Copies of this chain bind each other. A is one copy, B any other.
Amino acid sequence: MLSKSQISFIKSLHQKKYRKEHGLFIVEGIKSIKEFINSSYHIHTIFYNSEQYNLLPKLPANINLFEVKNAELDKISTLQTPQGFLALVHIPKNKQLDQKELKNQFTLVLDGVQDPGNMGTIIRTADWFGFKNIICSLDSVEVFNPKTVQATMGSLARVNIFETDLPAFLTDNKLPVFGALLDGESIYKTQWGNEGLVILGNEGKGISPEVIKKINKPVTIPRIGEAESLNVAVSAAIFCAELVRVRN
């Protein structure tokens, strides 16, 4: 049984401030938890519902296991419908971004994406299409937000996320810089070459003026109808799909 202080500790991790303070984030659902077990992430504790114990894989000895009742899971879960398993996972140290690792590939760069669902969906899509790294500006939504983690469906365990001062990073960068803008070359006609950064902006404001200056290849998804804009996760997906198409 969970103590009051355990419950309040886990609930504190619903908030960014305490995730940062304790260096832990929450992953729910056995499928996603398994992805983190089989990754470079370190699991701290897994809380499981006794009825579903048999779904747990063999675990390394350094992972704490804790049986909980459904009512307890309701209290600590970030979901409206808890999924039987909740893990606390260590937040990794922000990896040093080495420009050499970005050569001969395309990398998504997110400038101020704010919606946790969009962020998670972009990570999941990037993973589907085999993109290894995503670079986020410092004002992007935190990727360890429970809604983001949930929306990645386990892909967060595989895609490397780098948070960085974007204008400074782009000043040092030598790769071609593509950017999703409304007045660029058609995405279908763009000469992509074999490497580059693809910048996508904030849901409402788009790419910030400081970052726009660094774009040397503006690219547009042609609009046939009348919607004013596309959702950023949708734009990211169309870029990923097109990059995979032209490289194959």
Q: Which residues of A contact B (CB under 8 A)?
A: 31, 117, 121, 124-131, 151, 153-155, 158, 187-188, 221-231, 233-234, 237-238, 241-242, 244-245, 248
Contact = CB atoms under 8 A, between A and B. Distances in A.
A128 B224 contact: yes
Given A121-B234, A237-B238, A127 B225 contact: yes
- The complex is assembled from copies of this chain, and their number is 2
Contacts of A223: 128-129
26 contacts: A124-B227, A124-B230, A124-B231, A125-B230, A125-B231, A126-B225, A127-B225, A128-B223, A128-B225, A128-B227, A128-B230, A129-B225, A130-B224, A130-B225, A131-B225, A155-B226, A158-B225, A188-B248, A221-B241, A230-B237, A231-B233, A233-B234, A234-B237, A237-B237, A237-B238, A238-B241
Given A130-B225, A153-B228, 14 more contacts: A117-B117, A121-B231, A125-B231, A126-B225, A128-B224, A131-B225, A153-B229, A154-B228, A155-B226, A222-B244, A231-B233, A233-B234, A234-B237, A241-B241
A214 to B, nearest CB: 25
A130 B237 CA distance: 18
A150 to B, nearest CB: 12
